[in-house]
Amino acid sequence: MQPDEFRRIGHEVIDWIADYRERVADLPVRSRVEPGWVRERLAPLPERGEGFDGLLSDLDRVVLPGTTHWQHPGFYAYFPSNASLPSVLGDLLSSGLGVQGMLWSTSPAATEVEQHLLDELVGAMGLPERFRGGGVIQDTASSAALVALLAALHRQSGGTWRQSGVDGTETVYVSSQTHSSIERAARLAGLGERAVRSVDVDDVLAMRVDDLASRIESDVEAGRKPVLVCATVGTTGTGAVDPVREIAALCAEHGIWLHVDAAWAGPAALCPEFRHLFDGLDQADSFTANAHKWMLTAFDLSLFWTAHPDVLVDALTILPEYLRNTATESGAVVDYRDWQIPLGRRFRALKLWSVLRWYGLEGVRAHLRRHVELAEMLESWVAGSEEWRLVAPRSLALLTLAHRDGDDATREAMDRVNAAGDAFVTHTTVNGRFAIRVAIGAESTEEHHVRALWQALAASG
Ligand code: PLP
């Protein structure tokens, strides 16, 4: 494709995306296709290049019916994953530049824009100053958890982990509400599930510090080595917030790495009124917040900070001959290849930069606050309802609700709402009871959408 062809077809592609976003609210949120429906409609690969028209028409014919519309205003499932249009343009610019920023020297701007943004966000989000200079973009919070654990293993071993690996006595602490990515990180790090301790939670589903303390103490007495505690600000199920400051004190006492997972709630730190949720973060060793959840940035972009970039780099560094270069050897630059699992890396910072410059910090704060206000509105309706109740306190823009008639009624209501196509909600269980999660966070969700969701739920009663 020559640049002039790119220019012409590129306009068509941008038009296609703009048209899609204009009409996404009219499509059923969830794809309704049966398994195999999409593949049955795909042609064999062409021997000869065929241009772009066929692909664009297949997008309408096959891809759209097989797509669940995450940018739909009625998307309340899982956690919405904002892909604002400025971030789409930023992503396009990143692909257009086509750089691979594994080393500072493979594209200095890719590294330095990223460093600048992550340091600026330390100030904008009120994060601890000890994170300045320790920020990096990961693809996902799952990768962030894994690198945090590897750094923790390295530190706990006194630096021998790189050479000798684990010895089977290392332990990791989560709660029953912690995201499954921590357990997976433990498996990937070779610790096995048996190393993962599931700490009890209290009545608002936050980690119980007394139970954490007793589990750590009995492990220490048994000769095991506690390596990492993962505290969560905004759990996946109900948005519960673990008591980070108290957990941090225990971690400090035992020399344990504290990772704070705020994959969903993290962006809320941009708003001073929500910062109390992050109390104790100044004591954490690492922290993650997904810009691809609630910070208007197209998947994938997870923000990760550590107070110990030296430990992280020491744990992960590897320098084969072909990557040697004078900038690295000068010690004057950051090579982000040593801060992540893969070697290669995209210029992801461009899409975040596009978002932050288009909306400004105030624009992003307004986006967050609007969702919280909508959630407060829905909360007030639930509070006044004789049929529905909240099963956990509202957390920012996440509500967890159940029908008073029990699990079957809740499940039926969810199925009915989802089948109608105007909204999509998912579920969790709270103390063994089935509950609907309403995660308000799509960019285009307005009051009338939430009102319609509530009417649909209420009608199901
Ligand atoms: N942590 C929490 C609290 C989450 O809610 C999620 C996903 O919803 C994750 C981690 C995993 O995020 P990612 O898909 O970026 O790995």
CA dihedral (270, 352, 301, 342) positive or negative: negative
Bridge partners, 436 (sequence order):
401, 427
Neighbours of 196 (CB within 10 A): 20
279 and 384 fall within a common domain: no
Mutate to test the pocket of ligand 1, among 70, 138, 142 (most ligand atoms within 8 A of CB): 142
Q: Does residue 269 surpass a pLDDT of 60?
A: yes
Q: What is the DSSP string of 44-78?
A: PPPSS---SHHHHHHIIIIITTT---TTSTTB-SS
- Ligand 1 center to residue 179 CA distance, Å? 6
Residue 431 lies in a domain: yes
For all residues of the chain together, what is the average pLDDT? 97
Given this model, what pLDDT does residue 460 score? 61
Instruction: Establish whether residue 24 lines the binding site of ligand 1, counting it when its CB lies within 6 angstroms of any ligand atom.
Output: no
Instruction: Establish whether residue 175 lines the binding site of ligand 1, counting it when its CB lies within 6 angstroms of any ligand atom.
Output: no
Position 153 confidence tier, pLDDT thresholds 50, 70, 90? very high
- Distance CA(221)–CA(184), nearest Å, equals 26
Nearest to 60 by CA among 15, 97, 93, 92: 15
79 and 153 fall within a common domain: no
Which residues, at least 6 apart from 95, have a Cβ–Cβ distance to it below 8 Å?
A: none
Range of 216's domain?
A: 99-346
What ligand 1 atom has the least distance to the C-alpha of 302? 15
Instruction: Establish whether residue 141 lines the binding site of ligand 1, counting it when its CB lies within 6 angstroms of any ligand atom.
Output: yes
Given this model, what pLDDT does residue 377 score? 98
Over residues 197-246, the pLDDT tens digits come to: 999 999 999 999 999 999 999 999 999 999 999 999 999 999 999 999 99
Residue 417 belongs to what H/E stretch?
helix 407-420
In this prediction, residues 420-426 reach a mean pLDDT of: 97
What ligand 1 atom has the least distance to the C-alpha of 178? 3
Instruction: Establish whether residue 238 lines the binding site of ligand 1, counting it when its CB lies within 6 angstroms of any ligand atom.
Output: no
Domain limit, last residue, from 287, 315, 346: 346
What angle do the packed helices 447-460 and 407-420 form, to 10 degrees? 130
Contact predicate 179/261, CB 8 Å: yes
Both tokens of 344, joined, read 């290669």
**Paired sense of beta strands 302-306 and 135-138, if any:** antiparallel
Peptide bond into 200 cis (omega under 30): no
113 and 206 fall within a common domain: yes
- Ligand 1 center to residue 231 CA distance, Å? 13
> Domain tally for the chain?
3
- Distance CA(148)–CA(285), nearest Å, equals 8
- Distance CA(442)–CA(460), nearest Å, equals 24
Contact predicate 141/293, CB 8 Å: no
Q: Does residue 406 surpass a pLDDT of 70?
A: yes
41 and 20 fall within a common domain: no
Q: Does residue 459 surpass a pLDDT of 90?
A: no
Q: Does residue 393 surpass a pLDDT of 70?
A: yes
Domain limit, last residue, from 317, 346, 375: 346
Mutate to test the pocket of ligand 1, among 178, 264, 278, 340 (most ligand atoms within 8 A of CB): 264
Over residues 112-138, the pLDDT tens digits come to: 999 999 999 999 999 999 999 999 999
Instruction: Establish whether residue 177 lines the binding site of ligand 1, counting it when its CB lies within 6 angstroms of any ligand atom.
Output: no
Residue 248 lies in a domain: yes
Bridge partners, 233 (sequence order):
241
- Ligand 1 center to residue 141 CA distance, Å? 5
384 and 278 fall within a common domain: no
Instruction: Establish whether residue 154 lines the binding site of ligand 1, counting it when its CB lies within 6 angstroms of any ligand atom.
Output: no
Nearest to 369 by CA among 292, 295, 271: 271
73 and 199 fall within a common domain: no
Over residues 306-335, the pLDDT tens digits come to: 999 999 999 999 999 999 999 999 999 999
Q: Does residue 461 surpass a pLDDT of 60?
A: no
59 and 125 fall within a common domain: no
**What CATH number is attached to the domain comprising 265?**
3.40.640.10
- Distance CA(295)–CA(306), nearest Å, equals 20
**What CATH number is attached to the domain comprising 411?**
3.90.1150.170
Q: Does residue 458 surpass a pLDDT of 90?
A: no
**So what's the ipTM on this one?**
0.98
221 and 274 fall within a common domain: yes
Contact predicate 456/420, CB 8 Å: yes
204 and 268 fall within a common domain: yes
- Ligand 1 center to residue 81 CA distance, Å? 11
Q: Does residue 252 surpass a pLDDT of 70?
A: yes
Both tokens of 223, joined, read 């000769």
- Ligand 1 center to residue 145 CA distance, Å? 10
82-91: b (≥16 Cβ within 10 Å) or e: bbbbbbbbbb
78 and 127 fall within a common domain: no
21 and 145 fall within a common domain: no
Bridge partners, 226 (sequence order):
171
- Ligand 1 center to residue 234 CA distance, Å? 10
100-119: b (≥16 Cβ within 10 Å) or e: ebbbbbbbeebbebbbebbb
Given this model, what pLDDT does residue 302 score? 98
Over residues 43-72, the pLDDT tens digits come to: 999 999 999 999 999 999 999 999 999 999
